[in-house]
């Protein structure tokens, strides 16, 4: 059984604050890590797909890093805005990749104006 | 269509009834996945289809659950003799392949409530 752990479970920040959350996953047989944003009443939306140790990806104010040897990834949001309020999910694939994503429970972010 | 389409968006059913949930993936996507999220839980894998290969049914919680994918396109998830613990949001996703370099495109889900 794979365990993908995310912390914190929920987070409230003020508009303009920067924040980050953690995803931990089994470091053996790593193949890829995905980050998704899931806004209320919408579909989960892919943010990043990361495959290499040391990878760092950025999309606007959001960035992510990956450490496959120790089994963690960080998601950073710089200058949080109310529209960033969502649940952020990470998901892991092992081995050859011919398996479905295993998701964590997510971090629910609320940005207060 | 432009995205993954799921229907119905909401379904309320009585305990013991059968329900069918439909997913229309993005044209050309060979892989199709079903997940569900129960209250307070993470996304739970149910089943996935890849091309003409036999589906991976390892996540189906009981034999009351089944799914098929006709013609490599539309998929139907069927739950027989529904129970209250089946209440959840059922999400369908598709991707170009099961390789990890492609993100999944999700539908907006079906919220199932068993009363």
**Residue-level pLDDT at A109:** 97
Helix, strand counts (H, E) of chain B: 0, 10
Q: Residue B77, CB half-sphere, CA atoms under 13 Å: how many? A: 32
Residue A22 parent element (H or E): strand A19-24
**Residue-level pLDDT at B72:** 77
**Residue-level pLDDT at A2:** 65
| pLDDT mean values, one per 10 residues, chain A (113 residues) | 87 97 92 94 93 94 97 97 97 81 94 95
B59: tokens are 């996540």
Nearest to A106 among B3, B35, B42 (CB): B42
List CB contacts (< 8 A) between A93 and chain B.
100
Residue A70, by phi and psi: left (phi above 0), alpha (psi -120 to 50) or beta?
Answer: alpha
pLDDT digits (tens, 9 = 90+) for B46-101: 999 988 888 999 999 999 999 999 887 999 999 999 999 999 999 999 998 755 56
A63: tokens are 């960035």
Q: Are A101 and B34 in contact (CB under 8 A)?
A: no
* Residue A30 distance to chain B (closest CA, Å): 11
* Residue B100 distance to chain A (closest CA, Å): 6
**Residue-level pLDDT at B103:** 87
């Amino acid at each position: 059984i794979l365990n993908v752990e995310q912390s914190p479970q929920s987070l409230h920040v003020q508009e303009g604050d920067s924040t980050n959350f953690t995803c931990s996953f089994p470091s053996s047989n790593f193949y890829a890590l995905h980050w998704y944003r899931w806004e209320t009443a919408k579909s989960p939306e892919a943010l990043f797909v990361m495959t290499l140790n040391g990878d760092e990806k950025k999309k606007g104010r959001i960035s992510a890093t990956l450490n496959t040897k120790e089994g963690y990834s960080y998601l950073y949001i710089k200058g949080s805005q109310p529209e960033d309020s969502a649940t952020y999910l990470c998901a892991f694939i092992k081995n050859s990749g011919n398996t479905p994503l295993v998701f964590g429970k997510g971090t629910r972010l609320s940005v207060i104006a | 269509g432009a995205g993954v389409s799921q229907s119905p968006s909401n379904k309320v059913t009585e305990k013991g009834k059968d329900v069918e949930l439909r997913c229309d993936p993005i044209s050309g996507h060979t892989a199709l996945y079903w997940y569900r999220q129960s209250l307070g839980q993470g996304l739970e894998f149910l089943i996935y289809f890849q091309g003409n290969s036999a589906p991976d049914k390892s996540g189906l919680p009981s034999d009351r659950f089944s799914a098929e994918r006709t013609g490599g396109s539309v998929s139907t998830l069927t739950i027989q003799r529904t129970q209250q613990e089946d209440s959840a949001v059922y999400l369908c996703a598709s991707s170009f392949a099961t390789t990890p370099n492609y993100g999944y495109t999700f539908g907006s889900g079906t919220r199932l409530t068993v009363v």
